[in-house]
Amino acid sequence: MKRSMTAYGRGFSGPYLIEIHSVNRKGLELNLYLPRELLCYDIDIRKLLKEHLKRGSVTVRITKEKGKAELSDLPSVEVLAVLKEHYEKMAQTLQLDPQAINLPFLCNQLQLAGIEDVTKIDK
């Protein structure tokens, strides 16, 4: 019995929407689209997909659902204080101006890194 390789599926995992689309191909061709905060997992996701897929052109798109920001989503004063201390130590080590480490800088770093809990940063 032949099995079709053309398929589409979607589902949610937490705040992420995961969509998978495949069409028939002789070899395996993976196209992976990730949000910035998940880019560090690109290789791991590809390995996982290759373990379960043998052939086809497969597109996996993971997007973070945008919802209304809640107060609990905002960084706390404690989180920002830890982050500020961390960057000030880096600035001192690299002989950079610690005055550049202000609230807009910290918020930008949180957004770029996708950091949700910086209390785990080594002091």
> What tens digit of pLDDT does each residue of 10-39 get?
988 888 889 999 999 999 999 999 998 889
Domain ranges within the chain, ordered by starting residue: 7-64, 71-120
Return the pLDDT at 121: 47
The pLDDT of residue 112 is 67
Average pLDDT, rounded, for the chain: 80
For 80-114, write each residue's pLDDT tens digit: 788 788 888 888 888 888 888 888 877 777 776 66
Flag whether pLDDT at 61 surpasses 80.
yes
Pick the closest to residue 30 from 6, 50, 44 (CA basis): 50
Strands 28-33, 56-64: pairing is parallel
- Using the Cα atoms of residue 33, residue 47, residue 11 and residue 8 in order, give the sign of their dihedral: positive
Token duo for residue 33: 């689209």
Query: pTM for the whole thing?
Result: 0.52
pLDDT of residue 103: 80
Q: In this predicted structure, what is the pLDDT of residue 2?
A: 57
Q: What is the pLDDT of residue 13?
A: 83
